[in-house]
């Protein structure tokens, strides 16, 4: 299955059914009066987050989604059936915008989140609703309303706790294959990874977190060079960045690290400000002096530093523990912030009531 992280679709909610013009005519009821039933409501269109999906590939084959039309009303005060609702499943992490206005309609951040994106048209009233003391036999009914219609632009940003970034062949795919069950393509040429890979990592005490392996970046990536900025969006939601730097290539690992740092800064200030671990990779074959240079770079810029060899397993478990601790601390701080916000809100409400 191809990895697709952009899609545009058109949605149309169902129109409401028309109200009915009818009169009750029975043998022993000479003046039965109006009995036209109401039209059924049109089917609405919803989007729903699903953890079963991790790409927008399924939207390539169906670009139009339509809710069912409501049935027209019938005689004997029988209302028409409502139209069938439509639910479009999207991966968790999808951002849905109105293509015309650019308005963000939904940011799907958790499984099962369901949002109305086009409301079905209301069914029209039958003539039974329009009878009055002076108009006892109305010969008109209300037409059904049109359902909502719009074009949606959907962008997928993977949701992971840790985003692994680095130059091509820095060892990102090897690392994620070692610390998780993910099986990315691994080879000794640049741009082996063409799509982001997700892996679930288990730390001590069965504590788990999700890691995303982002395809290799090069200088000018934020301007579209190489694989461009098409995958940088997938690390925007990460809590911590793991920056892998190959210690075995040349005598300037600090310069290599600075390239990625500049790309992150150029793409997004928020992204560049995320907690970051600089990790020297391939220490089993490191060029002499590279370790000290990269460590000095990390200390100068205020980043945590560690070293690993994913192939032989050296330092890998320590790295996993470090990542688990940072992810755990970040989640705990989010809970505290949420509780503080709720407390301030409640205080504000009580002060308003007391005043």
- Predicted pLDDT at 348: 54
Residue 217 pLDDT: 57
Reported CATH class of domain 162-334: alpha beta
Residue-level pLDDT at 146: 95
Phi, psi of 274 (to 5 degrees): -65, 150
pLDDT in tens, 229-238: 556 666 777 8
Low-confidence ranges of the chain (pLDDT < 50): 1-2, 185-194, 218, 220-222, 224-228, 338, 342, 345-346, 350-355
Note whether 171 and 246 are within 8 A (CB).
yes
For residues 21 and 141, is the Cβ–Cβ distance under 8 A? yes
Neighbouring C-beta atoms of residue 27, cutoff 10 Å: 5
**pLDDT at residue 182, rounded to an integer:** 61
Give tens-digit pLDDT for 115-133: 999 999 999 999 988 988 8
The predicted pLDDT at position 145 comes to 94
Give CATH for domain 1-156.
Answer: 2.70.210.12
Cα–Cα distance, 202 to 269 (Å, whole number): 30
**Token pair of 317 as six digits:** 């478990």
- Where are the domains positioned within the chain? 1-156, 162-334
Q: Specify whether the backbone of 35 is left (phi greater than 0), alpha (psi in -120 to 50) or beta.
A: alpha
């Amino acid at each position: 299955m191809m990895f697709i992280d952009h899609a545009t679709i058109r949605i149309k909610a169902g129109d409401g059914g028309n109200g009915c013009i009818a009169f009750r005519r029975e043998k022993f009821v000479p003046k039965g009066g109006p009995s036209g039933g109401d039209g059924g409501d049109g089917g609405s269109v919803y989007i729903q987050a699903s953890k079963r999906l991790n790409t927008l590939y399924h939207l390539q084959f169906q670009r139009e989604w339509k809710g069912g039309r409501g049935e027209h009303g019938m005689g004997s005060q029988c209302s028409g059936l409502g139209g069938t609702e439509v639910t479009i499943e999207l991966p968790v992490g999808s951002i849905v915008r109105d293509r015309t206005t650019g308005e963000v309609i939904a940011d799907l951040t958790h499984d099962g989140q369901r949002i109305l994106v086009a409301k079905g048209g209301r069914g029209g009233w039958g003539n039974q609703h329009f009878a009055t003391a002076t108009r006892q036999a109305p010969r008109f009914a209300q037409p059904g309303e049109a359902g909502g219609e719009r074009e949606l632009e959907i962008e997928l940003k993977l949701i992971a706790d840790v985003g692994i970034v680095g130059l091509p062949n820095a060892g990102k795919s090897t690392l994620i294959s070692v610390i998780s069950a993910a099986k990315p393509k691994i080879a000794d040429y640049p741009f082996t990874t063409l799509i982001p890979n997700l892996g679930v990592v288990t730390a001590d005490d069965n504590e788990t977190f999700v890691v995303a392996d982002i395809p290799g970046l090069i200088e000018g990536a934020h301007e579209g060079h190489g694989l461009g900025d098409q995958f940088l969006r997938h690390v925007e939601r990460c809590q911590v960045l793991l920056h892998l730097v190959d210690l075995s290539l040349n005598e300037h690992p600090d310069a290599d690290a600075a390239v990625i740092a500049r790309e992150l800064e150029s793409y997004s200030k928020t992204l560049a400000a995320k907690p970051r671990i600089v990790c020297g990779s391939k220490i089993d074959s490191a060029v002499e002096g590279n370790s000290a240079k990269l460590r000095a770079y990390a200390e100068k810029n205020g980043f945590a530093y560690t070293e690993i060899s994913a192939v032989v397993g050296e330092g890998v478990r320590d790295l996993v523990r470090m990542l688990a601790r940072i992810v755990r601390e970040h989640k705990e701080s989010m809970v505290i912030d949420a509780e503080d916000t709720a407390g301030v809100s409640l205080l504000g409400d009580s002060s308003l009531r007391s005043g």
